[in-house]
Amino acid sequence: MDLRQLRYFIQAARRENFRKASDDLRVAQSALTRQIQHLEHELGFLLFDRVKRGVRLTAAGQRLLERSQHILGEVDRLKESLQIEAHVPSGPASLAAPPSIGRLLFNKLALTFLKSYPKVNLSLLEGWTSNIWVSCGVANSVLPLLPTRRPTRCSSTRYSLPSRSTLWVAPMIHA
């Protein structure tokens, strides 16, 4: 018994007709019929009574329909959950900043970041600009927070790093 057979069986049960079910599934009627026959053979009983203009579920077929719908619903929810998790950032990352900025921003930035990305193992690095740039060259997932020397028109500038990390460089605020 496989998921394809269950999908074919469910559609045939819904439509009460193998031809209509095969049209819905975009498969040949003979392929759908063969899969349902394999399923009936494997289970050892008929799932449908063949009637003049289609098919009707047997009592065993009705029980299989209820369970199959539940099983395929669970499989679909599992696939959706796995796809969502696959797109959630995870693993190690570091946030780096010079001491003056780090002391002011690390707590708030780290809390905000970890709320958005709970599966990331965040390390906070404090150091001078030259040391942070060296860390960026060595580590793939260091996110440096560095002041720029010249003011820009916008409030921040975005740079892409080789490891698909993103670097946001904010202009210095002069008091």
Per-domain residue ranges of the chain: 3-85, 91-171
Cβ proximity of 33 and 11 under 8 Å: no
DSSP state of 172: P
Cβ proximity of 152 and 175 under 8 Å: no
Residue tagged 């793939």 (tokens): 140
Strands (E), the chain: 48-51, 54-57, 91-97, 120-126, 142-144, 147-148, 157-160, 166-171
DSSP state of 174: P
DSSP state of 77: H
Domain covering 91-171, topology = D-Maltodextrin-Binding Protein; domain 2 (3.40.190)
Say whether pTM exceeds 0.85: no
Range 3-85: architecture per CATH:
Orthogonal Bundle (1.10)
pLDDT digits (tens, 9 = 90+) for 101-113: 777 777 787 788 7
d(CA 136, CA 96): 9
pLDDT digits (tens, 9 = 90+) for 31-86: 999 999 999 999 999 999 999 889 999 999 999 999 999 999 999 999 888 877 77
**Which pLDDT belongs to residue 144?**
47
Q: Which two tokens stand for residue 172?
A: 């210095």
- Percent of the chain residues topping a pLDDT of 70: 72
* Amino acid code (one letter) for 73: G
Q: How far apart are the first and last CA of the chain?
A: 72
Mean pLDDT of the residues in the chain: 76
* Angular region, 117: left φ>0, alpha ψ -120 to 50, beta rest: beta
d(CA 162, CA 128): 22
Which residues contact residue 27 at a Cβ distance below 8 angstroms, ignoring those fewer than 6 apart? Answer: 8
Q: Which two tokens stand for residue 18?
A: 């193998």
d(CA 168, CA 161): 10
